Structure 1
Amino acid sequence: MARGVRCLLALMAALFLAGTGAAVEGEIVFNLAVEPQTIDPVRNNAVDGSNVIFNLFDGLVRIGFDDAPEPGCAERWEVSEDGMTWTFHLRKGLKWSDGKPLTAEDFRYGLLRLLDARNASPNAYMAYFLKNGEAFFNGKAGSEDVGIDVPDDATLRLRLENPAPLMLDCLSFYAFAPARADVVEQDPRGWATKPESLVSNGPFVLSEWKHNSELTLTKNPNYWDADNVKIDKVRMVMITDSNTALAAFKAGKVDLLDRIPPQMTPQLIQSGEAKVAPALGTAFCVFNVARAPFDDPRVRKAFTLAIDRRTMVEKVTLGGQKPAVAFIPYGIPGAGSDRDFRAEGGTFLPERADPEAAKKLLAEAGYPDGKGFPKVAYKYNLSSTNKAIAEALQAMWKQNLGVEVELANEEWKVFLNTREQGDFQIARHAYVTIFFDAGSLLEGWVTGSPKNVARYSDPEYDALIRDSLKQMDRSKRMEDMHRAEAILMRDLPVLPLYFYSTPYMQSARVKGIYISPRSWVLFRGAEVAE
């Protein structure tokens, strides 16, 4: 490591460590990196919030350490012969973190919160498999019409609108967590922002939240599987700058990093100090197709072909990523469990830039050699990696299109709101798959979806996705999704950059932390080894 870099790390470490202490026995420190916009299970739509929620809540089923759904609060379930009714039996003696009984009614209330349009959940569509779920969301049915029955405190029965091939996967997702009506209704917007009001039912409970600094999770003694939770506390610090975070790790103040300075990642991997976990996600730019000049598909394609994805992963991101030659990454199953969706679908985009084709498209759109192209800005949330990517994009668009693109960075919460409100022309984005299924990355671009920040709409695309959600024939589901991806890559409301990997560093003092390929970090099996 160069002397200058060492000095810089030492300076940043001194500044950060002046305000934090070393991890203590029974405690693990994880760099969450940013302040979550929310940790309300029905409102969250970001990986940072997910990493908090998954450690605070348990659903009817939970994510196992093989990433498959396994019994959670429900110890068993039965499915009717036609697959349209599922009956879940809760474990005996379930409790909330404050000691009050957890019942089937709490799961019913949590599901209705997810589907209640007033909560504007970005994941509400995932529960449309419930009878009248979508009708309730759209105000065409009452809550009493939704297919959720509670025969008794320990039994929850779900009646479906249509077959649901991903039923158990959905129920293991954090958005399907239970909720306490008496807590939520006292403060519908703020209950999940304060330790004193956030009751949970998972392995940990929120005990402290120093906003924009750190939050602390402590072991929940009322968790049904508390005997297998070996640590007392997880402290999640919010060090945005990856160089500062690395300095804190090297000083022994942080136990786990999953964001490493890109310029140092190769040497840290080579030395064995860092490892690379598999990840199923895609980093991309998103265009606002409702605003000029990106309402023209020729402009979107020109910007897409101007990017050299191979250079991006080899010279900029440096973490073992792969060039995104389509939207769905490698590693997601295709028509058969032994087949890969990406290998089946082939490639749609070149790894290398194609300046000639890009310039031709831009000229056809009325901007030969970039002349007359309006002022545009690329918006992103600030981190060293995001900044490096933004600068590389800016340079490629200038070199290969003759177009000047301004760069505008924003604090994470502000940026999320900017993107959700459509206050951008082109912006940073990324999706990590929710399930081992291509649909979880494609469903967000359906017309009217809260996740559809591109304002994209195509009737054929919508029909294919809707059919895939209820199609029990796996080969037909895959056919739907391959066709949908082809439409997405034709219209390009998104500009795929690279497929994720997760370089990380973990202290030798800890073990048993599970880093999911879906980028979620689970601490319920973690231990302090020293």
Structure 2
Amino acid sequence: MKKKALSALLAGALAVSLLSACSSNEPQNISDVSASTDDTSTAATAEAAPAGAQEMTFVLNNIPDGLDPGVTNNSFAQYVLINCFEGLVTYDESGSLVGGCAESWDVSDDGLVYTFHLRDGLKWSDGTPLTANDFVYSIQRVLTPATAAQYVSMVTGYIKNAQEFYDGTATADDLGVKAIDDQTLEITLIQPTSYFIDVLSMWVYDPVQQATIEANGDAWTNSPETYVCNGPFKVTGMSLNENVILEKNENYWDADNVTLDKLTFRYILDNSTALTAYESGEVDGIISIPSSDYARLKAEKAGVQVYPSYGTVYYNINCSVAPYDNPLVRKALCLAVDRQSLIDNVAQVDATPAYSFLAPGYSVDGKDITEGRSDYGLSATADVEAAQAALAEAGYPNGEGFPTLKLSYYQDDTVKKIVEAMAEMLKNNLNINVEVSSNDWAIFYEDVQQGNYEVAAMGWSADYLNPMSFLPLFKTGDSSNNSFYSNAEYDALVEQVMQESDAAKAAELTMQAADLASNDYCCLPLYYKSNSFLMHDNISGYYMTASSNLYFKHVVVS
């Protein structure tokens, strides 16, 4: 949960074999795979002419912890953020990285300096000019500790003197972010980073308006009147825990190509209730499909949309607290789970069992970098004998003396079913007591970030389409490392990947790092996922990237 801390447990993974061969030396990723739909008329590339009111309602199944792109890393916020804001770069319908606010950019010969040329006439949703200085302000704000930016490491890890600025030992003049003029932004990196353009697609790099934040403080995101943005839509209504209403932003640079006039995101936390609203025609789409209805809806061609996802469903294990600081204990947990049963009987989706946190889906020279890797001693079904042996070696023969395992999750129908099934597996296969608890996402995730958990439902959808989106999850001290796993050798390998410009060498180092952490059982992987949602066939023009971002800016209602 992107992710992002991860979004809710969605459908299982599409096989990586769907990736087409690539004859060049350029990396290829899962975003190149086409989405599958029940009806080709609903495909994102449809070119239906507008007919009638261009309005739609789409149901979300979790309430985000906030709508400030400079603060949150919560994937439940992404639907609003990516449709209300636009950074220097964005993704098009094919999953290709294209210019957003930046019309073009240049990179210096040494790979350190990126110069972005902004589009003419950029404006905020309130009609005031948007300039390069707004990007400078927004990045400085992320680097201000009081902002509490959850993705701050995505800036400090790349931009020159960003960490020093955050620490208070460098000034704005020292920071590698400069406005050369109103339409020219210069970013200087710590070292050459071949995938930095991909990183810039993350919403932490989106611009925010200084005037509205200075006038309203943290409350700027709480009201349509103060929620100033720059994307294809603007917020015109908010009702706590009920909905967020978006309307076309007439000041967006590409407003002429935005057909949808009104987009209502409605919060319905119960998936069955959401499905009833969908099947009755009350809403046009829902983001989460009840697992028990998935097969039926597919067979009925009821609008199931399936998109490739670069992500993994896994459970965090708090590696900093006993007895989970013992790799043998973590290994026992990983061995005791029957992944195939969870996929077939609980989630009830087509999925691939996962044995590592690093998802397949990224290729170099036409070959997925995870192809042929180890299974780390794990299997699709539970290996009870091996699990009990690992627990005994850890000092808990037949589960004796092992404390009650606390298994926590956020409120979601599918997650609840997964957790209840896992609890039974762990209890029966390891002869231990398991205590299950749940909470609203915001409270649950705060506990996870603070380390107030033992084993917790989680996972990751890549923030950008490169394996480096996964590696910081287990890097010592990284803000996204909520497992509190720490391994100096792993950290060193991640640093090498960050500095490696050769895609093949970077892939090799990536797999070395992933193998190291996976052999340490840094988390409890379950399956590699795809994204599925429901959409009525009178809606066309939407598209979803492999990082789970769902774009509505080209939607047509017919």
For normalisation by structure 2, the TM-score amounts to 0.88
Distance 1:206 1:275 in 2: 26
Counterpart residue number, 2:146: 118
Determine the structure 2 residue equivalent to 1:283. Answer: 313
CA distance in 2, matches of 1:146, 1:453: 28
Q: Is the Cα–Cα contact under 8 Å of residues 203 and 229 in structure 1 kept in the other structure?
A: yes
Distance 1:188 1:165, change over 3 A: farther
Aligned residue number for residue 436 of structure 2:
407
Residues of 1 paired with 2:345 and 2:462: CA distance? 26
Q: Distance in 1 between matches of 2:500 and 2:78?
A: 28
Letter in 2 for 1:488: A
Which deviates further from its counterpart, 76-85 or 29-38? 76-85
Paired position in structure 1 for 2:73 = 45
- Aligned partner of 1:44: which letter? T
Mean alpha-carbon deviation: is it higher for 512-521 or for 385-394? Answer: 512-521
Does 2:276 align with 1:247? yes
Distance in 1 (alpha carbons) for counterparts of 2:329 and 2:107: 50
CA-to-aligned-CA distance 1:421-477 (integer Å, 9 cap, x gap): 111111000100122211101212211111111111111111111121121011221
Mapped partners of 1:415, 1:88: distance in 2: 39
Query: 1:460–1:187: structure 2 CA closer, same or farther, 3 Å change rule?
Result: farther
Residues 285 and 533, structure 2, Cα contact 8 Å, conserved in 1: yes
SS in 1 for 2:278: helix
- Give me the whole-angstrom Cα distance separating, in 1, the residues matched to 2:131 and 2:379: 53
Structure 1 residue 271: deviation in Å? 2.5
Cα pair 2:198 2:466 within 8 Å, conserved: no
- Structure 2 Cα separation of the partners of residues 190 and 460 of structure 1: 43
2:166 matched to 1:137? yes
What secondary structure does 2:264 align onto?
strand
Instruction: Tell me the CA shift for residue 180 of structure 1.
Output: 1.7
Q: What does residue 115 of structure 2 align with?
A: 87
Aligned counterpart, 2:489: 460
3-state SS in 1 of match to 2:457: strand
Counterparts of 1:198 and 1:451, CA distance in 2 = 27
1:320-335 equivalences in 2 (<5 Å)? 320-333=350-363, 335=364
The answer to whether the Cα contact below 8 Å between 2:319 and 2:485 also exists between their aligned partners in 1 is yes
1:436 aligns with: 465
SS of residue in 1 equivalent to 2:236: strand
Tell me if the contact between 2:61 and 2:267 (Cα under 8 Å) persists in the aligned partners. yes
Contact 2:336 2:425 (C-alpha < 8 Å) held by counterparts: yes
Match of 2:511 in 1: 482
Whether contact under 8 Å (1:130, 1:161) holds in the other structure is yes
How many residues are matched? 504
User: Which deviates more, 513-522 or 126-135?
Assistant: 126-135
| Cα distance in 2, alignment partners of residues 364 and 426 from structure 1 | 20
- The CA distance in 2 between the partners of 1:278 and 1:36, in whole Å, is 23
Which residue matches 2:339? 309
1:203 aligned onto 2:232? yes
1:204, CA displacement in angstroms? Answer: 0.5
- 2:61 equivalent to 1:25: no
- Residue 394 of structure 1 corresponds to 423
Distance 1:380 1:185 in 2: 36
Kept in 2, the 8 Å contact 1:203–1:524? The answer is yes
The aligned amino acid for 2:349 is: G
Structure number with higher relative contact order (C-alpha < 8 Å, ≥ 6 residues apart): 2
What letter matches 1:88 in structure 2?
F
> What is the CA deviation profile of residues 108-141 of structure 1, one whole-angstrom value per residue up to 9, with x for unaligned ones?
1111122223323222222232211222223332
**TM-score calculated relative to the size of structure 1:** 0.92
Q: 1:67 to 1:117 in 2, by over 3 A?
A: farther
- The residue number in structure 2 matching 1:268 is 297
The amino acid across from 2:313 in the alignment is: A
Q: Residue 343 of structure 1 aligns to a residue in which SS?
A: coil
Alpha-carbon deviation of 1:344?
A: 4.5
Letter paired with 2:256: D
| Mapped partners of 2:238, 2:251: distance in 1 | 21
Q: Secondary structure at the match of 2:215?
A: coil
Per the TM alignment, residue 285 of structure 1 is displaced from its structure 2 partner at its CA by 0.8
Aligned ranges for residues 56-67 of structure 1 at < 5 Å?
A: 56-67=84-95
Q: Say what the alpha-carbon RMSD is for the aligned residues.
A: 1.4
Q: Report if the CA contact (8 A) 1:35-1:211 is conserved.
A: no
Gaps of 5+ in 1: 1-23
State the SS of the aligned residue for 1:345. Answer: coil
SS at match of 2:218: coil
SS at match of 1:206: strand
Instruction: Determine if contact 1:299/1:362 at 8 Å carries over to the other structure.
Output: yes
Q: Distance in 1 between matches of 2:339 and 2:133?
A: 50
Q: Does residue 380 of structure 1 match 2:409? A: yes
The residue identity in structure 2 corresponding to 1:175 is: V
Determine the structure 2 residue equivalent to 1:167: 196
1:188 corresponds, among 217, 223, 243, to: 217
Contact 1:122 1:449 in 2 (8 A): no
Contact 1:95 1:101 in 2 (8 A): yes
After superposing the two structures, state which structure 1 stretch, 120-129 or 481-490, moved more: 120-129
Counterpart AA for 2:403: P
Q: Select the residue among 509, 514, 520 that pairs with 2:543.
A: 514
Distance in 2 (CA, whole Å) between partners of 1:204 and 1:31 is 17
The question of 1:104 aligning with 2:141 is answered: no
How far apart, in 2, do the equivalents of 1:116 and 1:346 lie?
A: 42
Per-residue deviation, residues 371-424 of structure 1 (Å, max 9, x unmatched) = 221122111011110110001101110121111211101011111111111111
Q: Distance in 2 between matches of 1:151 and 1:520?
A: 31
Paired residues of 2:465 and 2:546 also in contact (CA < 8 A):
no
Is the 1:38–1:49 contact (alpha carbons within 8 Å) kept by the matching residues of 2? yes
1:69 aligned to 2:90?
no
Q: Distance in 1 between matches of 2:516 and 2:216?
A: 43
Q: Kindly provide the CA deviation profile for residues 357-378 of structure 1, in whole angstroms up to 9, marking residues without a partner as x.
A: 1101111222211122112211
Q: Quote the sequence identity (%).
A: 36
Structure 1 stretches of 4+ moved >4 Å: none
Distance (whole Å) between structure 1 residues aligned to residue 158 and residue 528 of structure 2: 30
Unmatched segments (≥5 aa) in structure 2: 1-51
Q: Distance in 2 between matches of 1:134 and 1:71?
A: 27
Q: Look up the match of 1:501.
A: 530
